[in-house]
Amino acid sequence: AVLVAPNLFSNALQVWQYRQHLLPLRFLLSFAVAGGAGIVLGTWGLVVLSPTLLSLGVAAAILLYLIIKLAKRTATLPFTVAKRIVLPVGLLAGVLQGAAGMSAPASVTFLNAMQLERRVFIGSISVFFVAITLVQIPALLSAGILTGERTLYSLGALLVILAAMPIGAQLGRRLPHRWFDNLIMCLLASIALKIILDALLT
């Protein structure tokens, strides 16, 4: 709940900054709407499914993707194929966000597989993050999780992130595409590792 404001406003800012470099609107709308529906299913699924098993399945999928990616560094998910699977991937990302609190294993992996240019990647993933955060806010409020005190903490965290964003943007502009791609792969590997460790330690 504390990260709601930083997630919403920082990603909204990035959508605005990279508005000229987004993937086609229809594609992003499908991705975002499916993600929102997935959050509803994921929240409901907390009662029915095991979040641990779901998360481990996702971790295995990430590791498989990274192995394939390392074996074939030039392999790219064609946009024509991405358009066909955007709805199920968006739905899966939303389910993960609702059930396990993280959509990145599906959403970031999906866009990374498309080998997008840095600005297109950041702007497009930010659209998705804004959409799912907007869906989550009413759920957090109705559950009493997003309280007045936590809202203040969230706004404080937002100020820190907004202050640091220009530094990150400058660094990002200087990074070659290969380095940016490697950074995303390291992020995905660390997410998979965290999922596995959390499952083993709980």
Express each pLDDT in 4-49 by its tens digit: 777 788 889 899 999 999 999 999 999 999 999 998 887 776 656 6
Radius of gyration of the chain (CA): 17
Interatomic CA distance for residues 15 and 23, integer angstroms: 11
Phi, psi of 116, rounded to the nearest 5 degrees: -75, 150
Amino acid identity for residue 174 in this structure: R
Closest CA to 143 of 39, 62, 60, 67: 39
Q: What is the pLDDT of residues 122-148, one digit of tens each?
A: 999 999 999 988 888 777 677 666 666
Closest CA to 117 of 161, 169, 180, 164: 180
Phi, psi of 151, rounded to the nearest 5 degrees: -65, -40
Closest CA to 135 of 32, 21, 29, 26: 32
Q: What is the pLDDT of residues 149-182, one digit of tens each?
A: 666 666 666 566 666 656 666 666 666 767 767 7
199 neighbors 52 (Cβ within 8 angstroms) = yes
pTM of the model: 0.74
**Is 192 or 124 the better-scoring residue by pLDDT?**
124
Q: Is the pLDDT of residue 95 over 60?
A: yes
pLDDT number for residue 82: 96
Closest CA to 134 of 42, 45, 33: 33
Select the highest-mean-pLDDT range: 65-74, 109-118, 176-185.
Answer: 109-118
Q: Is the pLDDT of residue 85 over 80?
A: yes
pLDDT number for residue 173: 65
pLDDT number for residue 28: 97
pLDDT number for residue 122: 92
Q: Is the pLDDT of residue 79 over 90?
A: yes
